[in-house]
Structure 1
């Protein structure tokens, strides 16, 4: 199937998320109680959890849950061909402390350039389990209308073929394990996306360092690595440095 897809019709993406607040104590008391309940499953315990452990678990894990976290960056990669028919990828990030700004920028891009799920594709690593559901849930929280590419609620699997998940593609039917993008980069011989920060550090970089540009740069590396992985699936040459254009945000 992949060899039949024109990579110029694929938008590669990745998101970065952080906890909704800087600290557990910043939560409304209702949400504190709800996180205390959630933390039991997160920490795999039925025992009473101390305030210190609740605070630590919120700081470490809240970002992965759309009900307790928020999106601070969505990076995308669009591939095109130059006048010599050589592939080029343009990397761009929607990054801000204002989640509504991030989501609206991304939604506008989809509506303007990728408004046909029958023609275009969204591709990411583990996007079916994480990125796409998270984006859709946070759009609901922000009272936003879904662009066509994300209007997938209640759709059958054959109606969401425009969502390409490179982790799912690598499984080849094996449902037992998660394979990271970093591991696939090492296995398949393209640059690792994780040479600066990793996902566990994004919250600190956001809340303590206030360095959204560093997060965007890190997120764009994931997008580029996903595009390289897609090319490997197509048995196509990898992108060289002069084929990569960072548009910024």
Structure 2
């Protein structure tokens, strides 16, 4: 279905923030450390060790965990479009994922609903599903793509949409927002800071704010892909 014909109110836009399950390589038990060493062998070049590349642990569902899922929806009103936000941020990953799964099963459980993220088919969606399985949580139908035909999978990805069938290049959301003149507020942290803020500062609120800003940028970019105007800042909340 063409983007312009999709009911945007039935799309849940999301982004996740992940961190290593433990902050330092030295905290891993011997077996896990050995498996991480094998998992990251490709990155251990020029004298680097598994400990040197441990900052990558947060991108692997086997060695990382989710600390925040931020979601946004677009509502069409007489006064224009509005964005409504909801975040799941918790030190208890099981509780975070259970709450998120219950929301999906309650409100995003028909063939007309869809999820959307940036590079989400490669990262966010599979990471969430894998961590749900690790935590013993049933995967909501919208995320459970096993056995589904391609046209039955209701997962959208703005990076994939931008590729138009070209599989060669990764394009960051920051670059797309720049070329489409989508405002991206300056923030005091980046993705590389999330683990430090989580473990050293114990500041989930700061991580949540950062994650929500990414979702807002994602929604605005999606609107640009539909050749529609941006949502005004006063209509975001």
C-alpha change, 1:34 and 1:194, in structure 2 (3 Å) is farther
| 1:63-142 alignment runs, 5 A limit | 63-82=58-77, 84=78, 86-116=80-110, 118-142=111-135
Corresponding residue for residue 7 of structure 1 = 8
* Aligned position for 2:141: 148
Residue 62 of structure 1 corresponds to 57
**Correspondences of 1:1-249 after superposition (within 5 Å):** 1-43=2-44, 45=45, 53-58=49-54, 60-82=55-77, 84=78, 86-116=80-110, 118-160=111-153, 162-192=154-184, 195-245=187-237
| SS class of match (2:147) | coil
Shift of 1:15: 0.4
- Please give the TM-score of this superposition, normalised by the length of structure 1: 0.90
> How many correspondences in the alignment?
236
* Residues 68, 87 of structure 2: 8 Å contact kept: yes
- Following TM superposition, by how much is the alpha carbon of 1:48 offset from its aligned partner in structure 2, in angstroms? 7.3
Contact 1:78 1:90 in 2 (8 A): yes
What's the offset of the Cα at 1:157?
Answer: 2.0
Shift of 1:81: 2.5
Structure 2: give runs of 5+ residues left out of the alignment. none
Shift of 1:143: 0.5
Structure 2 SS opposite 1:217: helix
State the SS of the aligned residue for 2:52.
helix
After TM superposition, give the deviation of residue 163 of structure 1 in Å: 0.6
Whole-angstrom distance in 2 between the partners of 1:57 and 1:185:
30
- Answer yes or no: is the 8 Å Cα contact 1:17–1:72 preserved in 2: yes
DSSP 3-state at the match of 1:30? helix
Instruction: Let me know the Cα RMSD of the aligned residues.
Output: 1.5
Higher helix fraction (1 or 2)? 1
Check 1:42–1:153 CA distance in 2 against 1; reply closer, same or farther (3 A cut).
farther
